Amino acid sequence: MAAAEVRNGKAGRALRVDAERNRERLLRAAQCVFAERGLSVPLDDIAARAGVGIATLYRRFPTREELVGAAFEAKLLAYAVAAEEALAVPDPWASFAGFVERICAMQAGDRGFTDLVTMSLSSPDRTAELRERAYRAVARIIGRAQQAGVLRDDVVVEDLPLMLLANAGVVHATRDAAPHAWRRLLAFLLDGFRPAASQGPMPAPPTPAQMDRVLKGNVTAKGVGCPDLAPSAPTARPIPDG
C-alpha cells in the first residue's frame, strides 16, 4: 500500500471519529439546554454549548425534530418502560395512579420533556415506535383499571394528554417558587378519574384526530416546527406524549 493511501486512510478514520465526537457533544448539549429552557431554544445556543458551529449541528441534525428525537430517545424509552412496568403492578388503581404520578414527575424534572409530551413532532422511526409502544401499554393500564371498577368507564387514552397539558402549565408557572405544587394538582386530577355514583357523565373526549391537531398546534405555538425542512407528521393516534 502506498504511503499516500495509508495517510488518506488515517485521515478518513480521524474525520469519522471527530464527526462521532461532535454528534455526542451535540446530543449532550441538547439534552442539557432542552431540559433547562424547553424545546424552542435557539439551535445556535445548543451548538455553542457543544463547542461547535451551527453548520456542524445542521450536518448532523438537518431539522430540529431530528435533534429532539435523538436527544429524547432515552426519555421516550423511559416513558414506554414506565407504562410497561405499571402493568406489572397487581393492583389496577395503583398501576394507573402510579404511572400517572411517575410521568408527571418526569415532566416536573425536565422542561424539555414537558414540551415533548405536549407536542406531536415529525418523528424518526425509532421515536414513533416508542410512542406507539407507550400508547399500547397505557391503553392496557386504563382498560384493566376500568374492568376492575376503579377507573371511570368514560376515561380514554386521549384524556392523558389533556392532563399532561394541564400539568405542564402548573409545572412551568411554579417551577421556581413552588416546585412541588404539581403534586396537589395531580391529587385533584386522580380523584376526578375515580368512579363515583354522584358524578354525572363527562363531556365527550377529544377524538384521536382532534388531539393530534392540538398537539401539532402546540408545536407551532412554541415555535418548534421547521415546515420548510421537516416532512409533515403522519396522521396517527396521539400518545400521552410521550
Q: Which CATH number is 2's domain given?
A: 1.10.10
DSSP 42: -
- Non-local (6+) Cβ contacts of 66 within 8 A are 124, 230
Q: What is the pLDDT of residue 191?
A: 92
Contacts of the segment 193-196: beta carbons below 8 A, 24+ positions apart: 193/96, 193/151, 193/152, 193/155, 194/93, 194/150, 194/151, 194/152, 195/149, 195/150, 195/151, 195/152, 195/153
Per-residue pLDDT reduced to its tens digit, 108-122: 888 777 666 666 655
**Of 33, 61, 89, which residue is a domain's last?**
61
**Of 37, 61, 85, which residue is a domain's last?**
61
Within a domain: residue 82?
A: yes
Same domain for 111 and 182? yes
Q: 83, 99 in Cβ contact below 8 A?
A: yes
Which tops the pLDDT comparison, 220 or 40? 40
Per-residue pLDDT reduced to its tens digit, 83-93: 999 999 999 99
Give dist(CA 179, CA 199) in Å, integer: 31
Q: 39, 68 in Cβ contact below 8 A?
A: yes
- Secondary structure of residue 94 in the 3-state scheme: helix
Q: Which helix (H) or strand (E) holds 84?
A: helix 64-87
Per-residue pLDDT reduced to its tens digit, 171-199: 888 888 888 899 999 999 999 999 975 56
Within a domain: residue 67?
A: no
Among candidate residues 125, 146, 124, 102, the one with its CA nearest the CA of residue 240: 102
What pLDDT band is residue 140 in, cutting at 50, 70 and 90?
very high
Q: What is the pLDDT of residue 2?
A: 56
**Mean predicted lDDT score pLDDT of the chain:** 80
Within a domain: residue 66?
A: no
Phi/psi of residue 73, each to 5°? -55, -45
Host domain of residue 163: 72-242
Same domain for 89 and 47? no
Within a domain: residue 4?
A: yes
Same domain for 134 and 174? yes
Within a domain: residue 235?
A: yes
**Of 41, 61, 81, which residue is a domain's last?**
61
C-alpha cell at 9: 486512510
Within a domain: residue 107?
A: yes
